[in-house]
Amino acid sequence: MLVRPIAIRSDDLTLPGELVVPEAARALLVLCRGIPGSRTADEPAQGYSGFARDLAAQGYAACWFFFRGCYEAPGDFSAAGWSRDLEATLDALAAREEVDGLPRVLVGSSAGGATAIAVGSRRDDVVAVATLAAVASWSVEGAGDGPALLQRLRNSGLIRDPAFPRDVDAWTAEFVDEAAEKHVGAITPRPLLLIHGDADDVVPYTHAERLFSFAGEPKELARIPAGAHQLRRDRRAVEALLDWLNRKVRPAN
């Protein structure tokens, strides 16, 4: 198994990440994390690095990275900024020989799921999109209220610059522009998988139902009974993801 650190240039920022490639990889999974509770907390050892290794052990190359504002990554959080970060990551991976020719699948969790849907809807080089506990819109945990979310993100350290954003109204409007429910219909005819726990107390299961109702075919909704929010830690969710990948994503030749 090949493990390489990567550095992604997005706007004027350099975002850290990692690429994990097994022998004879079937596809490349680009992992999009959600909003961490705190920028200053340590990323758990079994976090996305461990998730990428678990997926690589099943034959899938995986790339994870820190969106702007997350942990040691520079910058301040914005919905459009996260979309640009994912776009930049896909562009950077196109130049990596280790994953040349592999079909690309976006796998996004929570807010990262919304970003995966928005970006995946407009990228021809993405063959499929899967989400875990994705937000259909940002009207969760006060996110529909721009000032409330702005203060929450300042408190958690994902926005450090006291002068950011320069235009609060424009920053707030990005949440509407990048909402997953607005873009999910454009994933078709590529496969879409929505995985969601019905006991999620952060992003309610109704978000998955809304996304599913707006999505075109082919689409699947995997309901995880009594499943909580961090589904990458739930073996049932990971197995649902792997089953779908094995069925829906054609391996590289």
Q: Is the pLDDT of residue 29 over 70?
A: yes
Q: Is the pLDDT of residue 242 over 50?
A: yes
* Residue 129 backbone phi and psi in degrees, to 5: -135, 135
Mean pLDDT for 216-226 is 98
Would residue 252 count as lying in a domain? Answer: no
Q: What is the pLDDT of residue 142?
A: 44
Greater pLDDT, 143 or 209: 209
Cα–Cα distance for residue pair 156/203, rounded to 1 Å: 18
Mean pLDDT for 213-217 is 98
Q: What is the pLDDT of residue 40?
A: 52
What residue has token string 């350290």?
157
Q: What is the pLDDT of residue 143?
A: 47
Q: Is the pLDDT of residue 39 over 70?
A: no
Average pLDDT for the chain: 92
Q: What CATH number is associated with residue 67?
A: 3.40.50.1820
Residue 41: is it exposed, middle or buried by C-beta count within 10 angstroms (0-12/13-18/19+)? exposed
Peptide bond into 189 cis (omega under 30): yes
Q: Which is nearest to 108 in space by CA: 125, 96, 126, 124?
A: 126
Joined tokens for residue 50: 């461990």
Number of domains in the chain: 1
Q: Which residues pair with 192 in a beta bridge?
A: 129, 219
Q: Is the pLDDT of residue 246 over 90?
A: yes
Would residue 85 count as lying in a domain? Answer: yes
Q: What is the pLDDT of residue 108?
A: 98
Contact 185, 216 (CB under 8 A): yes
Would you list the DSSP string of 186-213?
GSTTS-EEEEEETT-SSS-THHHHHHHH
Q: What is the pLDDT of residue 147?
A: 78
pTM of the shown model: 0.94
% of the chain with per-residue pLDDT over 90:
82
pLDDT band at 141 (very low <50, low <70, confident <90, very high): very low
Would residue 177 count as lying in a domain? Answer: yes
* 143-199 pLDDT per residue, tens: 445 677 888 889 889 999 999 999 998 998 999 899 999 999 999 999 999 999 999
Peptide bond into 165 cis (omega under 30): yes
Would you list the DSSP string of 49-116?
HHHHHHHHTTT-EEEEEPPTTSTT--S---HHHHHHHHHHHHHHHTT-GGGTT--EEEEEETHHHHHH
Would residue 156 count as lying in a domain? Answer: yes
Cα–Cα distance for residue pair 179/81, rounded to 1 Å: 13
Would residue 168 count as lying in a domain? Answer: yes
Q: Residue 193 sits in which domain range? A: 2-247
Mean pLDDT for 1-13 is 96
Q: What is the pLDDT of residue 38?
A: 57
Q: Is the pLDDT of residue 45 over 70?
A: no
- The neighbour count for residue 168, using CB atoms within 10 Å, is 12
Q: Which is nearest to 219 in space by CA: 187, 243, 247?
A: 187
Would residue 16 count as lying in a domain? Answer: yes
Q: What is the pLDDT of residue 156?
A: 87
Would residue 253 count as lying in a domain? Answer: no
Least confident of 36-50, 60-74, 218-232: 36-50
pLDDT band at 210 (very low <50, low <70, confident <90, very high): very high
Q: What is the pLDDT of residue 75?
A: 97
